[in-house]
């Protein structure tokens, strides 16, 4: 929205019409089937609250009415629309209310509400709460972003994701709730779609593993199954605490739908028309449970999640979607040597429209830094399965889309050298490294911090397993990696971008210890990681 040209104005006008009609639809007179006197046996705020997508004058506040999170009907007795009261105040006790209203919780959206609060002051904290039928939600804290032309000296954020419920406690979320950050970036794998692991011994990360907590129900296909999975995950108090502490900027990866899906393809060879039905359920459930704006509400099996958020003149965040528009993985999505297909110009990671949007945005961006916040590893990481076997690469990460990758990194080098930082996830390990785009052009043009998982992979192997040794040996661009759970905290100043890779010593027990595995800094204009 900061970039104006004729095409964007026209595009914005079209989107504006659609947006206005959606707003009107949501704010129409009370529906005839309104439940005027909703009743609950227990608090309907079992999933907590959340806020997200801050702007200089507001943010989204979210909740969903769920008296019984583990039941497919969510414990809703009368499946009708209901009015939820919301209020936003300037102090943590909400004694100074500055905005309030009522929002309709529609059964079509599983009684979730997404209120886009506006008219607030820039760059300050606010607190919010919901109320219905004699029940109050807890009070959450959010924060507006600075004005677009403000010159903030600092922004801090945590990057995290991959929170398999069965594989560990969410202790990392508890720590994030206490970090002095301005927002959280969630890179995806908010839920895992698979069925209950059952009560046996499994193999995880090459070791025997018994589920710490159990998924309820089989693999998710229907809308109600996805809804119940989000509800189960959201009962976790550590996760709720992190949502209540700061606004989140979220995107999805694969497990919100199905492992390693790509565009219209799943990993099982399901016909695209059939897979899209599942994707439609998954996207709707994702929207229903995230603090997203109306512009991200799905339309059928498609959802617009890529977007841009500006933090004064300090940082422009481009949230990418590398699942919905990508070409199917090459070579059957195996971990293999890089054949000609990974360099094929006809294969894409972002799709043409998103790539053009990103390039236009980066070309016009006048902030000190640009953050590319996305899902999967951008480093072209090689490893050997055993000491004397060939070098292999993931076909699900950018290493399987080398032509797209080169085009993006070349664009960065030409148009915004030295001010683009990539923050990613998905790999269930920390990785920090430099990004160059060709073997004959090894000069780094950007850097990457890949945040390890909150819980996926359970207690890790540390950094002296075969994989760690192999990637360290084969990848001079890689400066740190470890298989432990945790998150990344970025501390962005006007000339220096610092990042801490935080790790927990375990996740199979509560109250684990947090420490910093490694710290790096990047100087603006000099896209290489420096150990600090």
Q: Can you give the binding site for Fe ion, defined by CB under 5 A? A: 162, 189, 456
CB of residue 251 vs Fe ion: minimum separation in angstroms?
Answer: 13
236 binds, among Fe ion, Ca ion, none (CB under 5 to 8 A by kind): none
Q: Which is nearer to Fe ion, 161 or 527 (CB)?
A: 161
Examine residue 193 and tell whether it contacts Ca ion (CB under 5 A): no
What, of Ca ion, Fe ion, none, does residue 529 touch, CB below 5 to 8 Å by kind? none
Q: Closer to Fe ion at the Cβ: 50 or 162?
A: 162
- Identify the H or E element spanning 240: helix 237-245
Q: 254 or 413, CB closer to Ca ion?
A: 254
Task: Report helix angle 272-289 to 223-234, nearest 10.
Answer: 40
| 8 Å CB contact between 348 and 300 | no
Write the DSSP symbol of residue 331. G
User: In terms of CB distance, is 145 or 431 closer to Fe ion?
Assistant: 431
Contact 456, 425 (CB under 8 A): no
202-204 vs 112-117, strand pairing mode: unpaired
Nearer to Fe ion, 436 or 458 (CB): 458
Min dist. Cβ of residue 232 to Ca ion (A):
19
Residue 293: closest CA among 10, 81, 51, 89:
51
Specify the residue for token string 């896209």. Answer: 527
The least distance separating Ca ion from the CB of residue 366, rounded to whole angstroms, comes to 33
**CA triple 435-441-445, angle to 5 deg:** 35
253 binds Ca ion (CB under 5 A): yes
To Fe ion, the closest distance from the beta carbon of 75 in angstroms equals: 29
Out of Fe ion, Ca ion, none, which partner does residue 456 contact, by CB within 5 to 8 A per kind? Answer: Fe ion
Rounded Cα gap, residues 289 and 354, in angstroms? 24
The Cα–Cα gap between 517 and 529 comes to 15
273's enclosing H/E stretch is: helix 272-289
**Minimum distance, C-beta of residue 160 to Ca ion, in the bound complex (Å):** 13
Give the one residue of 254, 355, 396, 463 binding Ca ion; rule: CB under 5 A: 254
If the CB atoms of residues 35 and 189 are measured against Fe ion, the closer one turns out to be 189
Q: Of 30-38, 47-55, 80-88, 250-258, which segment contacts Ca ion by CB under 5 A?
A: 250-258
Alpha helices in 104-196 (DSSP H): 171-177
Q: Which is nearer to Fe ion, 355 or 448 (CB)?
A: 448
- Is the distance from CB of 248 to CB of 188 less than 8 angstroms? no
Name which of 162 and 292 has its Cβ closer to Fe ion.
162
Q: What is the nearest approach in angstroms of Fe ion to the Cβ of residue 456?
A: 5
Q: Which listed range, 41-49, 234-242, 245-253, 443-451, lies at the site for Ca ion (CB under 5 A)? A: 245-253
For position 426 contacting Ca ion by CB under 5 A, the verdict is: yes
In a 3-state reduction of DSSP, which class is residue 122? coil
Residues 464-493, interacting with Ca ion (CB under 5 A): none
254 binds, among Ca ion, Fe ion, none (CB under 5 to 8 A by kind): Ca ion
Find the shortest distance in angstroms from Cβ 199 to Fe ion. Answer: 23
**Quick one: 186 or 368, whose CB is closer to Ca ion?**
186
With binding defined as CB under 5 A, does residue 396 bind Ca ion? Answer: no
- Per partner kind, with CB cut-offs from 5 to 8 A, the member of Ca ion, Fe ion, none near residue 500 is none
Number of residues interacting with Ca ion: please give it, by CB under 5 A.
4
Shortest separation between residue 162's beta carbon and Ca ion, angstroms: 6
Q: Report the candidate in 426, 499, 99 with the shortest Cα–Cα distance to residue 254.
A: 426
Least gap, CB of 448 to Ca ion (angstroms): 16
Tell me if 39 sits within 8 A of 77, measured CB to CB.
Answer: yes
* Backbone φ/ψ region at 249: left (φ over 0), alpha (ψ -120 to 50), beta: beta
Q: Assign residue 299 a region (left: φ > 0; alpha: ψ between -120 and 50; beta: otherwise).
A: beta
Q: Which is nearer to Ca ion, 288 or 426 (CB)?
A: 426
**Residue 452 in contact with residue 429, Cβ under 8 Å?**
yes
Contact 102, 128 (CB under 8 A): no
DSSP-derived 3-state class of residue 61: strand
| Piece of 149-157, 168-176, 251-259, 493-501 that binds Ca ion (CB under 5 A) | 251-259
DSSP state for residue 358 in the 8-state scheme: H
- Applying CB under 5 A, does 313 fall inside the site for Ca ion? no
Residues with Cβ within 8 Å of 340's Cβ and at least 6 positions away in sequence, in order, are none
Query: Using an 8 Å Cβ cutoff, are 287 and 299 in contact?
Result: no
- Tell me how far, at minimum, the Cβ of 468 lies from Ca ion, in Å: 20
Q: Site residues (CB under 5 A) for Ca ion?
A: 189, 253-254, 426
């Amino acid at each position: 929205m900061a970039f104006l040209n004729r095409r964007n104005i026209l595009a914005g006008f079209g989107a504006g019409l659609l947006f206005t009609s959606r707003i009107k639809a949501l704010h129409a007179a009370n529906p005839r089937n309104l439940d005027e006197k909703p009743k609950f046996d227990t608090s309907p705020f079992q999933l907590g609250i959340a806020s997200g997508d801050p702007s200089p004058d507001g943010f989204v506040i979210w909740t969903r009415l769920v008296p019984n999170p583990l039941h497919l009907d969510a414990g809703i007795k009368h499946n009708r629309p209901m009015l939820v009261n919301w209020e936003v105040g300037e102090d943590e006790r909400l004694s100074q209310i500055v905005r309030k209203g009522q929002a309709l919780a529609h059964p079509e959206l599983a009684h979730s509400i997404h209120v886009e609060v506006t008219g607030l002051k820039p760059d300050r904290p606010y607190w919010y709460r919901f109320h219905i039928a004699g029940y109050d939600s807890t009070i959450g804290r959010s924060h507006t972003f600075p004005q677009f032309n403000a010159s903030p000296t600092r922004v801090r954020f945590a990057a995290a994701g991959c929170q398999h419920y069965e594989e560990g406690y969410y202790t990392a979320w508890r720590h994030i709730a206490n970090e002095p950050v301005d927002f959280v970036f969630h890179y995806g794998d908010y839920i895992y779609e698979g069925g209950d692991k059952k009560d046996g011994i499994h193999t995880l990360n090459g070791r025997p593993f018994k589920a710490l907590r159990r998924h309820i129900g089989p693999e998710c296909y229907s809308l109600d199954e996805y809804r119940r999975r989000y509800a189960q995950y959201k009962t976790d108090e550590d996760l709720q605490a992190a949502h209540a502490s700061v606004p989140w900027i979220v995107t999805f990866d694969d497990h919100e739908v199905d492992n390693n899906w790509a565009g219209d393809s799943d990993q099982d060879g399901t016909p695209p028309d059939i897979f899209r039905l599942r994707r439609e359920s998954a996207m709707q459930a994702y929207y229903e449970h995230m603090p997203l704006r109306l512009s991200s509400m799905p339309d059928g099996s498609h959802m617009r999640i890529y977007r841009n958020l500006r933090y004064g003149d300090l940082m422009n965040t481009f949230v990418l979607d590398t699942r919905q528009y990508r070409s199917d993985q090459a070579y059957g999505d195996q971990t293999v040597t890089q054949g000609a297909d990974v360099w094929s110009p006809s294969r894409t990671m972002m799709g043409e429209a998103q790539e053009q949007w990103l390039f236009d945005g980066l070309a016009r961006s006048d902030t000190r830094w640009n953050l590319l916040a996305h899902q999967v590893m951008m480093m072209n990481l090689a490893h050997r399965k055993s000491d004397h076997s060939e070098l292999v690469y993931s076909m699900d990460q950018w290493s399987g889309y080398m032509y797209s990758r080169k085009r993006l990194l070349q664009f960065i080098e030409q148009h915004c050298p030295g001010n683009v930082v990539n923050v990613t996830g998905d790999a269930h390990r920390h990785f920090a490294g430099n990004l160059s785009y060709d073997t004959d052009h090894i000069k780094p043009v950007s850097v990457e911090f890949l945040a390890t998982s909150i819980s996926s992979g359970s207690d890790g192997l540390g950094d002296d397993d075969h994989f760690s040794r192999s990637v360290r040996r084969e990848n001079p661009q890689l400066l740190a990696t470890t298989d432990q759970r945790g998150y990344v905290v970025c501390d962005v100043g006007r000339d220096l971008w610092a990042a801490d890779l935080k790790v927990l010593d375990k996740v199979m027990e509560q109250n684990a210890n947090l420490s910093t595995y490694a710290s790096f800094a990047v100087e603006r204009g000099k896209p290489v990681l420096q150990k600090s």
